[in-house]
Each structure stands twice: as structure tokens, then as C-alpha cells.
Structure 1
Amino acid sequence: MHHAPRSIAHDVRLLARSGALSGPTANLAPGFVQANLAILPRQFAYDFLLFCQRNPRPCPLLGVSDAGAAILDALGKDLDIRRDVPRYRVWHDGELVDEPTDISDIWRDDLVTFAIGCSFSFEEALLSVGIPIRHIEENRNVPMYRSSIETVAAGVFSGPQVVSMRPMTPQDAIRAVQVTSRFPSVHGAPVHVGDPEAIGIQNIDAPDYGDAVTIRDGEVPVFWACGVTPQAAIVRARPHFCITHAPGHMLVTDLVNADLSL
């Protein structure tokens, strides 16, 4: 992985650190990998690592920290996991209790950070070959659904795969399969194309997370494994304490999207 001397990704992290950036990170730092975040006490870390390993499509691991390590140099220069994400979510026993912009005051020396690949990386690849992405066009968050596709359980972690959906013409859908299959570390190829009910989605216009988008005549819904899957598994497991990113408010790393392509 090559690192620029001081990247635009680093600049975005510093904006988050200073409090100047507390909103979503979509389209910020083009070219750089953005990651989903899960921070868990060490007692849950092995089970969670196993869960990610057994479910690489919804939970593609980009990095795992040592317990208590807050500076994650492997993911970015001077990256401070306590301050460099625009907005976090704090969970107690599976209940959301806070959405702070800084977690320094609740940091503990037993916390293990997991950085998980995100669909922003493959969306950039799709846009670069001229495939339009509806939620970006409509300035919305991608629609996401709990599917009937089960994950492989590990220890306390289990639950359904969450999938994200992008409507496309059949021709674009075929091209999208080709493009995204080159990015296994950021969800890879779609898990389903076509009939939503076949994967347990009753109402395509009512996503469980994110926003509904327009599906035009002649388009098919294309579904990818989604990084909200591990967050849903954490909520279901109800660990006494856990921190994630707020949806859309990602960790911007110095890793380069092009480096993730096979």
C-alpha cells in the first residue's frame, strides 16, 4: 500500500478531529478507502474476528488493532481512532446511548478496533466506467435491507446479512458484477440481482436503513453485502459496551481504492 506524504484523506481526518467535520463522508477524499468501524472490549474481540473471517463478503476486514491502541498507523498517518471519525455511536447492552464526535473521554485500554471495507470504494469504480448510481444522483443514503440470507454465526455474533441496493439496467448490472468482483475486500460482486422477495425483502420502497430511491421501468434491483451487517450482529449480541461509526460517517483511511482491486 502506498501512502502520499500528506493525503487529502489525512486532511479529512484532521477536519473531523478539530470538530469542523461532523457530517457524512460520502464523496470526500476520492480515491481513498473509507471504512466501517466496530470497537469492542477485548472479551468479545475473538468472536468478532471469527465472525468477520466466516463472513468475508458482508464483513471484509481491512485492519484490526491491538487492545487499547488508539493510533492506527497501518490505516493512516497519525490516525487517532478516538477523534478522527466525524460521528460515532455508543452502545450499552445493544441500546444506542450517544452519538458523540469524539470518544477520548470514554476510551479504555481493553478496546479493540475493527476497520471493515465499505461500498464507497466499489461505487467509485462503477462511476469511473460510467455506471450511474441512483442514491448519489438523488443525494440520498444508499437503501439497505435486512435480508433472509443468514450469516455464519461465531460465538455471540449472528444474524441476517444486511444488503445494500442499487437499481440498474440489466446491461449495467452485468457490467457492475464484472467491476465489483475485482474488489473482494470491499464486498465484491452482488449477492443477488432481481426479485427482492427471493431474499426476504417484502417492500423495496421501505428500507431498514438509509433512504428509498427511484427504481425506473426496465431496471432491476442489484444487491450487495453491506457493512451494516456486523453492526446489526453487534446490536443483536448486546455486548455491555461497544462503539461504531454513525451510518455514512466513515473512517477515511490512507489506503487507496485502486490498491484493493485484484
Structure 2
Amino acid sequence: MPIANVPTIDISPLFGSNIDEKFTVAKQIDAACRDTGFFFAKNHGVKILNDFFNTVDHFHQNITNDEKWEMAISAYKPENTEHVLTGFYLPKKDVKTVQSFYIQNPNFNPGHSLIQAKTPLHEINVWPNPNKYPHFREMVEKFYCEGFKVSEALLHVANLQVETPNGYQDIEASDDSFLVNGGKFLELISSGYYKAPLHRVKYVNSERLSLPFFVHLAYDSKVEAASPEDTDKSDGEKKTYQYGTFFQNERLELIRKNGQT
């Protein structure tokens, strides 16, 4: 299968103060997002990838069915009403063989304002037994913080297959870079300037570990759509999108499509 055009971009200037170097990186990201919609980010500064990978792999290799059920989200275990998103996602026969463990912001706790306000889809994380998995929570929270720093740097700039006009093409793997793509909300608020690339998991008849990191807006965030063609003379009403409504709708559509959360 042909290899998709997915450039590798050195993002280290984004952590510095040289505006010209940052602008050069921004132009590279802009070009990648308008092509296949994917790029590899190297020199990101995250030093714990190997330890994180091994920690998560050990967790999935050793977790028991009882432990999975204890942490299962409400879609599988209705009595876990406070865990619609955070927790364990069980494999579903003939639908998806994947099992997943999902966390949100580690700062969410009973005293957090968003938790006290019962903001939809904001939840306190559930964790496995620390005696059996002594470093799991520490490593996952550390990776969350490191990944968020990289995301912040990228967002200050304006194992998959990706669909192209020539059909689905492979994306080669990288041992030391993050594979990055924009989502549907970016396409929406850029008025289609940046396309959300259609992509899928490549089928291989072997075990595989994926470590995705998603960046969301606040639930109540409202964003006015922009267009690169906007000028002082542009007319027409601007569209405003509320992120929480968008995310809820996309989540329900994904459940409908996959038959699983």
C-alpha cells in the first residue's frame, strides 16, 4: 500500500523565544494540515515515552476481568453513574476487539469548580489498585502533564491510515515522534480551511498498544468561526459554535456508528 505524505516537523522552536523560527514551524504545520492533515512532531521534549509505554503495557497485560468490570464505564456497568467517560472500556464481541482505559484532567477532584457544578462529561478519574500497579497512576499523570505542554506549544501556532483522493494510504510509524492531526472541530471553526482527515486503524493480526492524547476545549467554550479569506469588507453573519454541544453530538454519533462508546 502507498505511504501517505506525513512530514516530520521539528517543533523545538515552539518552546523558545525566536519569533522567526516559530513562524517557520507554523508554516510547516499549516502546510501539513492542509495536505493529509497529519504530521509527526519531533524534538518535543517528552523523555518518559519508553517508561510510559512499558507501564501501560504491563497494566493491560496483567489486568483481570474483575478489575476491568470494577472500573468499567456506565455504558457497560450502569451502576457506575459517575463514570460516563473515565474508566475502562471493554471489548465487544464482533464489534471491537480493543480494550481501553480513559482518563481526564488529573486536577479534577471533588472540590474542583467544574466537578461541583456537575459540568457534563467532566469526571474524576478512577484508578486501578496501587498495590498491584504501584507506578501506573504516577506515570499516566506525568505523561498527561508532559503531553499537555506539547499540546499548548502546538496550539499557540495557529498508526493509522489516512484517506486521500487515491484511497487509504499507510502512515509509517515513528519511535520518537508524536503523530498529530486536527479534528472535526478545527475544520468547523476554520470554515473548512483545515480538513479533519478521515482515518482508520490499520488491521494487523497481532497485538498492538496505542496511546492517544486528545485536547478538548472547555465544555462551555464558544468559538466564532473564522475564514482565511476574511477582510474588513467581508459581510455575512459569523457562526459561533459551543464546544460541549459539538462534543456531545460527535460522541453520540460515534456510539451509533460503532455500536460501542
TM-score with structure 2 length normalisation?
0.27
Larger Rg: 2
- Considering fraction of residues, name the structure with more strand: 1
Q: Which has the higher contact order (CA 8 A, sep 6+)?
A: 1
TM-score with structure 1 length normalisation?
0.27
- Considering fraction of residues, name the structure with more helix: 2
